Amino acid sequence: MSDWHPEHALDQVALKWRALAERRRAHLIELYQTGRWKRYYSEERFLQCIREAVRATERWAEIAPHPADQVFAQQARSGTEAATKATAEMPQRSAA
């Protein structure tokens, strides 16, 4: 019997959709940087596509964070908590 975990398979699918959204955004950015977008889109339509791509990329980043993203988020949270605690422990200066 195989050791198949459906939740792992769904995570992989979600990461693939995230990668697709990131590639789409990168492609639109490349079109903008090279000016080729003018061949395919009106300015209004291109801006709409960019907004949709950014929204989709951000949403997929929320749905399917990379394991490294989670590690960095935990480090950032612990760093923020440590800084907050250190600030709270500092003696208060009196106004002169």
Asked if the model's pLDDT at residue 12 lies above 80, the reply is yes
Domain ranges of the chain: 6-84
DSSP characters for the chain?
-----HHHHHHHHHHHHHHHHHHHHHHHHHHHHHTTHHHH--HHHHHHHHHHHHHHHHHHHHHS--HHHHHHHHHHHHHHHHHHHHHHHSPPPPP-
- What pLDDT is attached to residue 41? 96
User: Where residue 20 falls among pLDDT bands split at 50, 70, 90?
Assistant: very high
Q: pTM surpassing 0.85? A: no
